[in-house]
A and B are shown apart, each in its own frame.
Chain A
Amino acid sequence: MSLAGLLRRLGAQVTGRIWRLGFASRFLLMTLLYSGMALRRLQLTLREIYFTGVLSLIIILVSGLFVGMVLGLQGYDTLQRYGSSEALGVLVALSLVRELGPVVAALLFASRAGSAITAEIGLMKATEQLSAMEMMAVNPIARVVAPRFWAGVVSMPLLAALFSALGVIGGYLVGVRLIGVDEGAFWSQMQAAVDFRQDIMNGVIKSAVFGAIVSWIAVFEGYDAEPTAEGVSRATTRTVVTSSLAILAADFVLTAFMFRGI
């Protein structure tokens, strides 16, 4: 291929991506605009919270427990070199509520619930269920998309909180019960060092933002999916990949703003 052809192809790719980003932004705007029904008829959103949030509980809780246990092991190994193994509770708690809780829970949420949302909406499109809804004078963005979007935004902070809570328990089990770190020091140092606004609230804000990002990507990819088996499969993959990258990028930006003074 000639250089001009290569540049033309690159240009087309870039303009295509920008166009799609613009379309996705307009789609988000429409979703927010038509959110009235999702909030007015709360049972629609509650049903989706069950499917996206409650059904993701097992994977979130089990992962949180194991991540906390690993933190307990690794943290103890490092801290005892400096004679501060009592600070294990602080290390486990701060790592979880500030970073690992929101980020890992969001990555798991994207794989478990985000992909399911994309596949469901994509299949509804492929089987003309969204068209049927339109022809029944029911707006699919209000009826299908908005409840799923808000369910993700609401579920994500709760899942991240549970992930962190189970992680702390995991760290406690390994650090205190298995290795023998002093129990009083573990909890009291944690209580003294973890700040509600600086650490916990910032973690909650992060997870809500991640929830919005994952839900936005998931509903958009589903709605924009090519209505074929291959198209839905591609859209599902795109949801997981794009969400994961977006979560990590947004985490850096949010962390830079939240903890810049520390």
Chain B
Amino acid sequence: MSAEPLVDIRDLSFAYDRRVILAGVNIRIPRGKVVAIMGPSGCGKTTTLRLIGGQLKPTSGTVRVAGEVVHELDDAGLYRLRRRMGMLFQFGALFTDMSVYDNIAFQVREHTDLPEELIHDLVLMKLNAVGLRGAHRLMPAELSGGMARRVALARAIALDPMLIMYDEPFAGLDPISLSIVGQLIRTLNDALGASSIVVTHDVHESLKIVDYVYFVSEGHIVAEGSAEEIRKSVAPYVHQFVWGEADGPVPFHYPAPPYGEELMAQPGRPREWWS
């Protein structure tokens, strides 16, 4: 991988109170590449994105974006850096009181003094890129899940960011929307010359579009490699994840005392008073 990454995460650890989420994670996101961070739910993928965006501060280690250590920036510095980032949230996080048009224009109006005519052209251009120019008058409540995700994507690229972060972009989408969103991630990244981080557990869709993959489990990077390397990997964890096996290094059962012992010990659990 490239020697000068856009995002350089070193020995990153993070904990909520005493619950450790990430422990000594190292990730490099090279310029111009699409990198996936995969792992089961609750493994710390979204936390990693929030640490990159400066919404959380690490317990130890550093997150460097475009040469700046994120958690050492003051508010003004952090906001300056965020203007060069775009983020797509899991369910779009569109502003429900604004139309599709105003959602996309929001950031442009907040951060630039462009005349409204120019903003109009810019918004339509971004919407055209995601195939939703005709939907600019709709309200978020009138959009399907896939359309909302595409509008959120258009909003994330409104200011041509250097880094685009995607939090579970494929969650809950039908196969057509899923494929469209996947292709858009790749084409927009290449067209804008940006770098992208895709946090997902959708293995098959993401392996089609990404250049490199990191697997996170229980706060550690357990595997990494190109999409091809991951497909061919025989590492038990990666194999279980890629092929969707119910049991393996990630156990099917939540930790519990022996079944028989529990059945013998507890004759019956009293019902809650309201049930």
Contacts and interface: CB of A to CB of B under 8 A. Distances in A.
Interface string A126-163: 01110110111111000100000000000000000000
B91 A135 contact: no
Given A127-B91, A128-B90, A135 B96 contact: no
A132 B85 CA distance: 11
A137 B89 contact: no
Nearest to B53: A135
Nearest to A136: B107
Contacts of B95: 129, 132
A135 B90 contact: no
B208 interface: no
B232 interface: no
B106 interface: yes
A138 B105 CA distance: 13
Contact of B89 (A131, A138, A143): A131
Given A134-B55, A136-B82, A137-B79, A129 B107 contact: no
Contacts of B83: 136-137
Nearest to B88: A132
A134 B50 CA distance: 11
A98 to B, nearest CB: 38
A129 B107 CA distance: 13
A135 to B, nearest CB: 4
A131 B85 CA distance: 13
Contacts, number: 43
B57 to A, nearest CB: 14
A216 to B, nearest CB: 22
Given A132-B87, A136-B106, A136-B110, A127 B93 contact: yes
B148 to A, nearest CB: 11
B111 interface: yes
A131 B93 contact: yes
Contact of A138 (B55, B96, B107): B107
Given A127-B91, A128-B89, A137 B55 contact: no
A135 B87 contact: yes
B110 A135 contact: no
Interface in B90-133: 90-91, 93-96, 106-107, 110-111
B137 interface: no
Contact of B96 (A127, A131, A143): A127
B80 interface: yes
Given A136-B107, A137-B111, A138-B107, A131 B82 contact: no
Contacts of B55: 131, 134-135
Contacts of B111: 137
B94 to A, nearest CB: 8
A44 to B, nearest CB: 11
B82 A128 contact: no
B93 A128 contact: yes
Interface string A115-129: 000000000000111
A260 B163 CA distance: 63
A135 B80 CA distance: 11
Contacts of A137: 79-80, 82-83, 107, 110-111
Interface string B170-212: 0000000000000000000000000000000000000000000
Given A127-B96, A132-B89, A138-B106, 12 more contacts: A128-B89, A128-B90, A128-B93, A129-B93, A129-B95, A135-B82, A136-B82, A136-B106, A137-B80, A137-B111, A138-B107, A139-B79
The 9 closest A-B pairs by CB, nearest first: A132-B93, A128-B93, A137-B82, A137-B79, A135-B87, A137-B83, A136-B107, A128-B89, A138-B110
